[in-house]
Amino acid sequence: MTEKDMIVCRCEEITYQDLVETAANYNCSARELKLRTRAGMGYCGGRTCRCMVDKIAATLESQKQTQITLKYQPPVRPISFGNLGGQEK
């Protein structure tokens, strides 16, 4: 396996090569790169790949200094009100 074949976003199975090519072809910001590839939109909400997506977009977007990092959104899991309030059965 080469660096190009390395999976960056495990949830959406996005490789490093996919991110680099998309960023180069469209001159993407981190947000645009996320929207075009779905990297960071999987079950984990970007906890594993957000930094790499930011870094790829920042290296290819040197002329834009208004780069903002991706928003971190933790995954949502259902919880009952009983568990939330600490009531035991």
Q: Regarding the domain delimited by 3-85, which CATH topology (the fold level of the hierarchy) does it fall under?
A: Arc Repressor Mutant, subunit A (1.10.10)
Q: What is the mean predicted confidence (pLDDT) over 46-68?
A: 75
What secondary structure letter does DSSP report for 42?
S
Cα–Cα distances in angstroms (integers) from residue 80 to residues 45, 46, 89, in the given order = 22, 25, 12
Spans of all domains in the chain: 3-85
Residues 6+ apart with CB under 8 A from 59: none
Closest Cα to residue 43, out of 6, 74, 19?
74
* pLDDT tens readout for residues 5-22: 899 999 999 999 999 999
User: CA–CA distance from 60 to each of 17, 42, 63, 81, 89 (Å)?
Assistant: 13, 24, 9, 46, 55
Instruction: Express each pLDDT in 18-30 by its tens digit.
Output: 999 998 898 888 8
